[in-house]
Amino acid sequence: MNDAYLIGHITIKDPENWVEYKSRVPATLALHGGEVVFRGTVDAVLAGSHPHTDTVVIRFPDCQSLHAWHDSAAYQALIALRAEASDGTLIAYTT
């Protein structure tokens, strides 16, 4: 089995709602074996263009777990809050 990663490229619109969203995500990850590898703010774009200010990387044991987490009722319940708090792109990768 190969690890799977979710990478989110994010621009925060509402810092207060963003803090709430971030505080609620970890509980949704636990059931699917997900763990936040890191969250960070862009220091510099060294090549090309990148419109977002923040990044999150979340590791899962496999693609099925990543998709099960994203499709879960617990995470789906947070999507409206995420949309209020930020704009961004979520991308699933496998190794």
Give the pLDDT score at 63. 97
Question: Is residue 64 pLDDT above 80, yes or no?
Answer: yes
pLDDT of residue 48: 97
Q: Where are the alpha helices (DSSP H) in 48-94?
A: 63-71, 73-76, 79-85
pTM for the whole structure? 0.93
Q: Report the Cα 7 to chain-centroid distance in Å.
A: 6
Structural domains of the chain, with CATH: 4-43+57-94 (3.30.70.100)
Rounded CA gap, 36 and 26, in Å? 8
- Given pLDDT bands bounded at 50, 70 and 90, which one contains residue 76? very high
Range list of H helices, 2-60 = 15-30
